[in-house]
Amino acid sequence: MKKLFYYNWQKRQEWFEWAFELPEEDLLLNRTGGVGNILETLLHIVVVEIGWLKDLKGELFDDDLTGYITLEKVKHLNDQYHHEIKDYIESWTTDREDLRIDIEGETFTEGEVLNHIIVHEIHHSGQLSIWSRALGKKPVRANYIHRGLGV
C-alpha cells in the first residue's frame, strides 16, 4: 500500500513540473470532464489527500482554499502538508487495515480510506493525461514499473 503512495507522490511531482511549463491560460482553460481544468485538478488531488488524512488523524482541515488560484500556491499547499502525510503513511501498519473509523456520520475502515486516496489520484492523473495530449504535450509516464518501486 505504501508504495502506491510513493508512486502517486513521484508522479504528482512530475505533473507539477509539467504544469509549470504551461501558460496560465492552459492551466485555467475550461475542459470537458473531471473537475474542469488542470489547476483545479491538481488542487483537488492535493486537497482530497490532506482532507482524508486529517480525517484519519481525527483532525480538522479547514484551510480557506479560495486563494489557491495559482500553480505556485497549489504547489505550496502540497509541500506544506506533505511531510505530515508522509509521516502518517510511513508509520501506518497493515494491522490497522480493518479498524473502523467514523467520518462525518459514515463508517469506513482505515484500509478503505487509504485505498480511496490512492485510487482518487490515479484516476485524476489519467484525466490529466488526456488533456496533456490535447495540448500537444507528452503526459507524465503512468507506468508503475521502472520507477524503482520494486524492492
Query: Which residues sit at the interface with a second copy, rule CB under 8 A?
Result: 1, 3-4, 7, 32-34, 94, 98, 100, 107-109, 111-113, 115-116, 118-120, 122-127, 129-134, 139, 142-145, 149-151
Q: Report d(CA 30, CA 135) in Å as an integer.
A: 13
Nearer CB in complex with a second copy: 79/98: 98
Q: How many CB atoms lie within 10 A of CB 85?
A: 21
Look-up of cell digits 521502472: 146
Nearer CB in complex with a second copy: 65/113: 113
Nearer CB in complex with a second copy: 85/128: 128
* Measured CA distances, 116 to 5, 8, 40, 42, 122 (Å): 11, 13, 19, 17, 10
| Min dist. Cβ of residue 32 to a second copy (A) | 5
